[in-house]
Chain A
Amino acid sequence: MVDVRTRRRGRLDVLSFLQAGGVYLAIALLLLFNLAFTPNFATVANLRLQLVQVAPVAIVAIGMALVIATEGIDLSVGSTMAISAALLPLYLGYGTWPAIAIAVLAGAAVGTVNGSLVAFARMQPIIATLGTLVACRGLALVLADGRLTEIFDPVLGALGNDAVLGIPISVVLVLVVTGAAAVVVHRAAFGKRLLAVGGNRAAATLAGLPVKRTLVTVYVISGVLAAAAGVMSTARQGASDPSFVGLLIELSAITAVVVGGTPLSGGRVRILGTLMGALLMQLITATVIQHDLPDSTARMLQAGIIVAAVYVQRGRSRA
């Protein structure tokens, strides 16, 4: 009897360790592997490249994590990036910053639509945002006349390629967004509301919390972050490409959130874990590519990690 219990406890400990730190462990192992076996891995140029490449996914994933914490999901993030990218060249004539402001406002507008569909029309988040996914990509193509537009704007170019203290601006943005999200979740009233709404909506309602406002706000945040990611991608490419920017990024973002230890069932969120989840996926791709293995290998590895992450969480929801 005693034996059985200790063994159980032991298994639970391993499981809860994996739930809390599995993503960090995986990153550490991958880094060690690369340091040992990958030539030119530990160079500043390579590390910077990896971080810059993962930046849009990371920003979108932070917003996704907040939405998922309310037991929701936002599939429209990629299309929101496209709208933001499509709007930029149209308004650059008024100045770079006004154009960026308009792009970000458009993201907020998409978020308002998503949030209202979920909170007021009581649609299921997956359906509501599937609708906006389709609609927004279409709208972006209409705005851009279906074309790729090259952009020669010095400020935007600087945003995409310059660095502060050696850190690329997009990476700085990721750090700021992650830090802000962590503070909001742990310290701000909004963070508490978010987790209460996701953890037990009936209880949140009975506690007099503004459940609907909270839901709308979280989709607006997700939309704004997606639009910002759209601006960053466009800046880096030096071109607005509404047909392809952000395509399927919603899947990468959801993967990052789940791998980072946030359950899809809502009520909990790991902000730093989400960032690490995005990094892990990026590292897998980079490792595979640098060892001249086909892209399909990276995908299969990623799939394995996703399944493992969900398996570990299954244990959590029962505990």
Chain B
Amino acid sequence: MTTPALDVRSVSKHFAGVRALAGVSLELHPGEVHALVGENGAGKSTLIKLITGVYRPDDGEVRYLDEPVAFAHPRDAQAAGISTIYQEVNLVPMRSVAGNLYLGREPTNRFGLIDFRRMHRDARKVLAGYGITVDVRRRLGELGLGVQQMIAVARALSTDARVVIMDEPTSSLEPREVDLLLDVVALLRRQQVAVLYVTHKLDEVFRICDRVTVLRDGRLVHNGPVAATTRLRLVATMLGRDVDQIRRHGATTFADQQHEATGTPVLRAEGLTRRPLLDGVSVDVHPGEVVGLAGLLGSGRTETANAIFGVDRVDAGTVSVDGGSTRRWNPAAAIRSGIGMVPEDRKSEGIVGDLSVRDNIVLAALPRLTTAGFVSRRRQDEIVDTFIKRLRIKAASPDQRVRELSGGNQQKVLLARMLCLHPKVLILDEPTRGIDVGAKAEIQSLISELAALGLGVLLISSELEEVVEGAGRVLVLRDGALVGVLRGDDVSEDHIMHAIAQASEPEGVS
């Protein structure tokens, strides 16, 4: 076996007492494309940052070309030959292609000025090596994201990189651009560069990667050749499930009986398309039904929710509630027609931290509580009292700032904000993420309770358990498209994972 280009030896990292990585090791060999996969919070970015010198490990060491290294800054790692290509293109859109390629190391003539002719000639030659033909004098911002990404790669490589780290390089690319990028990765392999390829997309793991490392909750849970594993096994490892022994187990507090979908759907969303993230997703929810939306990170779960709620503009698709639809679709219109949504990111999209619990609860109801510009204090207090009691929100008083509450109570405030509108459909995006066990149980039983009262619920969760036990019907997403619908007894973790893991060619759900 060759000497690894990069050898990470049981590194650990804690942040404020919270474990981010625990004893993770990784070897990266020249000419190898190594996939690094894992769900949110698995520790992928922490690992990259430890390698490139953004963080120092608490424990363990990073060896590069058989020498222990501790870079003080990503710049130093880059200079030593470890290049990182981030998800978002890190270049200057207003500069020319060649200017970006040679940013900070432009060839100069004898007067110390930039030698544009040489720079353009060299840039053309370098890019041609990757099969990219583009006018190198054009401004980078005018080009497609795929080409920009490729130029970022070319820039990273022109510094004689021995190791290239790619952090979800295809997440915003069109399929054609993905092909182009993967060709470049293959080229790197032939040039004996070691590539660490971070991705959520199983297709790419099996298409381009030689080895795969799976992280979960900061620990290494799998490392081996890609050829020796299967999609299903990989999905199960990422999610922390045992393939051979998956059964319903009562760890959640959802009601046992799921209501059967009856009558006409209250929410009907059809052909939602937002390239390249969503491709023709259709969702319908009946009154009293909990529909689960499952899929790996980046599969389009949140994008589906945002499309239904009018947060993001879609390229195509329609949403109707109770048969009616509005021409101008935005969150205000969605709320008026009877949809409520509790967003995934509680802090940045949910709570208004400086406002009181009261103001946060009635925020969306303001238009309904206002007469002649003034908000009725009495009606506010009625609503606030009702929901603080009903959802058992623990706050010193309704006047307490919401930022001072625990995560679980903040989440309840957001639920109250939507429930006081008496919606017909409620979209819950990761309703129990990052909250304590008690609040989690309360929210889960509340969901069942609400459904029993006739509310339609679209439940998005990255915890399979929650989807399986909470939902009567589960839609499975992969790469922005619906790949399976499970109902009744078919709703199981096993079936969901099969649906996620099936190859791009349609095979039918189990």
Contacts and interface: CB of A to CB of B under 8 A. Distances in A.
Contact of A208 (B350, B362, B364, B375): B364
Given A195-B352, A203-B352, A188 B375 contact: yes
A207 B374 contact: no
B72 interface: no
A192 B366 contact: yes
Contacts of A193: 366
B348 A202 contact: yes
A189 interface: yes
Interface residues of B, number: 30
A236 interface: no
A188 B351 CA distance: 20
Contacts of B348: 200, 202
A188 B374 contact: yes
Interface in A189-238: 189-190, 192-193, 195-196, 199-200, 202-210
A267 interface: yes
Contact of A199 (B309, B311, B334, B354): B354
A65 to B, nearest CB: 15
A302 B425 CA distance: 55
A207 B364 contact: yes
A318 interface: no
Interface stretch (B136-144, B148-156, B275-283, B335-343): B335-343
B359 A207 contact: no
Given A208-B336, A209-B366, A195 B373 contact: no
A202 B336 CA distance: 18
B375 A209 contact: no
B332 interface: yes
B351 A187 contact: no
A266 to B, nearest CB: 9
Interface in B316-336: 331-332, 334-336
Contacts of B362: 192
A215 B449 CA distance: 39
A206 B374 contact: no
A293 B349 CA distance: 52
A268 interface: yes
Interface in A278-292: none
B369 interface: yes
Contacts of A204: 352, 363
Contacts of B369: 189
Contacts of A196: 352, 355, 359, 363
Please indicate which of the listed interface residues A188, A199, A208 has the most CB atoms of chain B within 10 Å of its own CB.
A208
Nearest to B371: A189
Contact of A192 (B331, B349, B353, B363): B363
A210 B417 CA distance: 16
A195 B360 CA distance: 11
B504 interface: no
A208 B334 CA distance: 8
A73 to B, nearest CB: 18
Contacts of A210: 332
Interface in B184-212: none
Contacts of A190: 373
Contact of A267 (B354, B364, B417): B354
A207 B413 CA distance: 13
B349 A189 contact: no
A208 B352 CA distance: 14
B375 A203 contact: no
Interface string A236-262: 000000000000000000000000000
A182 to B, nearest CB: 14
B229 interface: no
Contacts of A199: 352-355
Given A189-B373, A189-B374, A200 B331 contact: no
A206 B311 contact: yes
Contact of A206 (B341, B354, B359, B367): B341
A190 B372 CA distance: 11
Given A189-B373, A208-B331, A203 B351 contact: yes
B370 interface: yes
Contact of B332 (A188, A208, A268): A208
Interface in B402-445: 417
B355 A195 contact: yes
Contacts of A203: 349-352, 363
B384 to A, nearest CB: 13
B311 A205 contact: yes
A312 B311 CA distance: 37
A74 to B, nearest CB: 21
A193 B377 CA distance: 15
A246 to B, nearest CB: 29
B375 A192 contact: yes
A37 B14 CA distance: 59
Contact of A200 (B334, B341, B352, B364): B352
Nearest to A197: B352
Contacts of B366: 189, 192-193, 207, 209
A206 B355 contact: no
Contacts of B309: 206
Contacts of B311: 205-206
Contacts of A192: 355, 359, 362-363, 366, 375
B301 to A, nearest CB: 17
Interface string A267-311: 110000000000000000000000000000000000000000000
A70 to B, nearest CB: 12
Contacts of A202: 348-349
B353 A189 contact: no
Please indicate which of the listed interface residues A193, A204, A207, A210 has the most CB atoms of chain B within 10 Å of its own CB.
A207
Contacts of B334: 208
B247 to A, nearest CB: 37
A192 B364 CA distance: 11
A226 B350 CA distance: 35
B355 to A, nearest CB: 6
A209 B363 contact: yes
A77 B311 CA distance: 34
A205 B312 CA distance: 11
A189 B352 contact: no
Q: Sort A-B residue pairs by CB-CB distance and give the 10 closest, nearest first.
A: A208-B332, A207-B364, A208-B335, A189-B370, A199-B352, A202-B349, A267-B354, A200-B352, A207-B363, A199-B354
Interface of B: 309, 311, 331-332, 334-336, 341, 343, 348-355, 359, 362-364, 366-367, 369-370, 373-375, 377, 417
16 contacts: A188-B373, A189-B366, A189-B367, A189-B370, A189-B374, A192-B362, A192-B375, A199-B355, A202-B348, A203-B349, A206-B331, A206-B343, A207-B331, A208-B331, A208-B332, A208-B336
Given A200-B350, A206-B343, A208-B367, 5 more contacts: A188-B375, A189-B367, A208-B332, A208-B335, A209-B363
Interface of A: 187-190, 192-193, 195-196, 199-200, 202-210, 267-268
